[in-house]
Amino acid sequence: MGEATLYNDHFQNYKSYQIPKAQLIIADIPYNIGEDAYGSNPMWYEGGDNKNGESKLAGKQFFNTDNDFRVSEFLHFCTKMLIKEPKEPGKAPCMIVFCEFEQQFELIQKAPKYGLNRYINLVFRKNYSAQVLKSNMCVVGNCEYAVLLYRDKLPKFNNDGRMVMNCMDWVRDSTTPKIHPTQKPVPLLERLITIFTDKGDVVIDPCAGSGTTLYAAKKQGRRAYGFEIDKSFYQAANDKILSLPTQRGLF
């Protein structure tokens, strides 16, 4: 049976909570895009339509917490909270960091200082692009990026003996309530969690936002822990996402 616990705190305070070490850390780190946070989001315009002019979100940052995020502190947390490298093959932990395109380079460059020596880049292909609203662009982005980091041994990997391509489809999530501007789709998170963990394993999301990672992990019978500093997201995550049923047909 899965479980999920979200703390309304900075992940840097993790020692107070004595949470178990993780097989998988999934994080969607603040993009540090400052005042252009909605630059590739229809919400930049009133009603999502550029004919209506700019909305109050134009030129605004997503959260006032964005400016404080430090990749080094984040990697320090991850290296402390991932389980130790096991002796046997096929059981090693890993982390998946969703990030902005340029942040991948900072992560890849800094990770070895924290013992995370190896990486695989992941690309998620959407069948739409919010950037089409920007009339001066002829090539528009339709991808999300993530870096999978691990120490030395290949991570635990469950896919019935089949490979996984590093470019995956971004599965739209039409059922989970939308409470966060950068909310990740639950079906995609469920897929990643089932590939890199087994039932009963611990999954941690240090920047949990709406709590989607925790919910996906709980649905898949994993034990999930997360941190979110913004009180309103923390509250909405608990009230609207983590309280959702985890088995179809029960309600």
By CB under 6 A, residue 23 contacts ligand SAM: no
Pick 12 or 131: Cβ nearer ligand SAM: 12
Q: What is the DSSP string of 168-192?
A: EE----SSS---STTPPPHHHHHHH
Nearest approach, Cβ of 162 to ligand SAM (angstroms)? 27
SS3 assignment, position 232:
helix
By CB under 6 A, residue 234 contacts ligand SAM: no
Report the distance separating Cα 204 and Cα 6, nearest Å.
Answer: 10
Nearest approach, Cβ of 146 to ligand SAM (angstroms)? 11
Nearest approach, Cβ of 74 to ligand SAM (angstroms)? 8
Pick 63 or 124: Cβ nearer ligand SAM: 63
By CB under 6 A, residue 180 contacts ligand SAM: yes
Pick 44 or 234: Cβ nearer ligand SAM: 234
Nearest approach, Cβ of 142 to ligand SAM (angstroms)? 19
When binding is defined by CB under 6 A, the residue of 182, 235, 238, 246 that contacts ligand SAM is 182
Q: Where are the beta strands (DSSP E) in the chain?
A: 3-7, 24-28, 94-99, 118-125, 143-150, 167-169, 202-205, 223-227
Q: Where are the beta strands (DSSP E) in 138-241?
A: 143-150, 167-169, 202-205, 223-227
For the chain, what percentages of helix, strand and coil (3-state, to nearest 5) are there? 30, 20, 50
Which pair of structure tokens corresponds to residue 37? 């946070």
When binding is defined by CB under 6 A, the residue of 124, 222, 227, 242 that contacts ligand SAM is 227
Which pair of structure tokens corresponds to residue 166? 């590093």
By CB under 6 A, residue 30 contacts ligand SAM: yes
Pick 116 or 188: Cβ nearer ligand SAM: 188
Report the distance separating Cα 12 and Cα 98, nearest Å.
Answer: 19
Q: Residue 79 belongs to what H/E stretch?
A: helix 71-81
Which pair of structure tokens corresponds to residue 82? 């991932």
Residues 205-224 that bind ligand SAM (CB under 6 A): 206-207, 209-210, 212
- x/- contact string, 46-85, with ligand SAM (CB under 6 A)? -----------------x-x---x----------------
User: 9's torsion region: left (phi>0), alpha (psi -120 to 50) or beta?
Assistant: beta
Report the distance separating Cα 210 and Cα 214, nearest Å.
Answer: 9
By CB under 6 A, residue 32 contacts ligand SAM: no
Q: Which residue has the CB atom at the shortest distance from ligand SAM?
A: 209
Which residues contribute to the site for ligand SAM (CB under 6 A)? 10-12, 28, 30, 63, 65, 69, 180, 182-184, 206-207, 209-210, 212, 227-230, 233
